Amino acid sequence: MTELIPVAACILIAFGIGSNDTSNAFGICIGCGVIKIRRALLLFGCFVLVGILLQGQKVMDTVGKDLVDVNLSIISISVSVSALLIIFSNWKKLPLSTHQVIIGSLTGSGIAYGADINTTALLEIVISWIISPLVAFFSAILLYKAMEKTISKLSLFRIERILRSLLLFSGILIAYNTGANELATILGPLIYAGLIEQIRASLIGSLFVFLGAVILSHRVIETIGKGITTLDPYSGFAAQFGAGMCVLFFTSLGMPISTTYCIIGAISGVGMSKGMNTVKLDLIRKILANWVIAPSLAFIMSFLVMKSVS
């Protein structure tokens, strides 16, 4: 019966991924008026499933077997704490990295339990958290500048048609990455602990990601799509595709990085290309503070809970 606790918590986190990360894939498209939210939700759900089935294995390996020597107690506490933090953050309309919360919780509960922690793997993950938003930031700037010298020379009608298609493609890429990276992060420990078979976990996880998107995603879409800087299809594509390619690269390395923070980094880069006064710096500072607080709080809570029950 106790084995159902981490399974239920992971399902809840998958629901949280859907409510939080739909904005990463289609928040810009919706904010730019390129796609209606119902169609966006359908595309998101389909490509999350494709992503985890085709390319989720490497991230599952990193989180499920390379970082911590997991057992039922560690998984139960870490994913339960993570679920509470993720749902709370979504309710407060704050973009949150599922990876940071999961890794922080696994490390905290693992240390408290006395399990072996692979410090090299942990360091690589933390470094990738720092580097990836910067890569997305500069990738988006370079792409935006390149588009100014190429696509901008076309007629307005052709520019609009091309950018609408490209925005949908980049949104699909982010949705794919959500499955291959985000969802793989939460399912990896569950699968390697032998609590559920991989294909079954992928199907159930993808279903609850879709349900979370349908029920709650509109709250965070408001922040990502319109809250950081004013986006049009032109700048929106540069931000989204730059972030998408960044996440895909780190996914191929097996690094569980945050799509949320890559998107934020890319949007900030495009915004600053158009002028610092176009970026809402107060919101950026709030998000950066959350970047530090979320994994730290997850670590502390999981550590204390594990100590209290062990």
DSSP per-residue string spanning 189-243? HHHHTTSS-HHHHHHHHHHHHHHHHHHHTHHHHHHHHHTSB---HHHHHHHHHHH
Is 253 in contact with 292 (CB distance < 8 Å)? no
Output b/e per residue, 287-303; b: 16+ Cβ within 10 A: beebbeebbebbbebbb
List, in order, residues 6 or more apart from 21 with CB less than 8 Å away.
98, 178, 182, 209, 213, 259, 260
Instruction: Name the residue among 170, 154, 193 with its Cα closest to residue 60.
Output: 193
> CA 144, CA 237: separation in Å to the nearest integer?
8
Asked whether residue 268 carries a pLDDT value surpassing 60, the answer given is yes
The pLDDT, as a whole number, for residue 191 is 93
The pLDDT, as a whole number, for residue 225 is 47
Phi, psi of 68 (to 5 degrees): -135, 145
DSSP state of 117: B
Stated pTM of the model: 0.87
Averaged pLDDT for residues 256-261: 86
Asked whether residue 122 carries a pLDDT value surpassing 90, the answer given is yes
> CA 176, CA 163: separation in Å to the nearest integer?
20
Asked whether residue 31 carries a pLDDT value surpassing 80, the answer given is no
Instruction: Name the residue among 140, 78, 146, 111 with its Cα closest to residue 301.
Output: 78
Averaged pLDDT for residues 242-248: 94
Question: What is the Cα 19 distance to its own chain's centre?
Answer: 11
List, in order, residues 6 or more apart from 65 with CB less than 8 Å away.
188, 192
Asked whether residue 291 carries a pLDDT value surpassing 80, the answer given is no
Q: Band the pLDDT of 158: cuts 50, 70, 90.
A: confident
Instruction: Name the residue among 224, 286, 251, 280 with its Cα closest to residue 125.
Output: 251
Residue with tokens 């998984």: 75
Q: Band the pLDDT of 231: cuts 50, 70, 90.
A: low
Q: Is 68 helix (H, G, I), strand (E, B) or coil?
A: strand
Asked whether residue 212 carries a pLDDT value surpassing 70, the answer given is yes
**Residue 202, amino acid:** S
Supply the Cα-derived Rg of the chain in whole angstroms. Answer: 19
Is 166 in contact with 241 (CB distance < 8 Å)? yes
What average pLDDT is seen over the chain?
A: 86
HSE at residue 155, side-chain half, CA atoms within 13 A, is 3
- Top-confidence residue, 41 or 279: 41
Q: Band the pLDDT of 151: cuts 50, 70, 90.
A: confident
Residue ranges of domains in the chain? 4-309
Which residues on neighbouring strands pair with residue 117, listed in sequence order? Answer: 68
The pLDDT, as a whole number, for residue 21 is 74
Asked whether residue 209 carries a pLDDT value surpassing 90, the answer given is yes
Q: Band the pLDDT of 51: cuts 50, 70, 90.
A: very high
Averaged pLDDT for residues 204-227: 75
Averaged pLDDT for residues 199-228: 78
The pLDDT, as a whole number, for residue 221 is 59
The pLDDT, as a whole number, for residue 223 is 52
For Cα atoms 69, 104, 294, give the angle at the middle one, nearest 5 degrees.
Answer: 170
> CA 238, CA 143: separation in Å to the nearest integer?
6
Q: Band the pLDDT of 1: cuts 50, 70, 90.
A: low
Asked whether residue 105 carries a pLDDT value surpassing 50, the answer given is yes
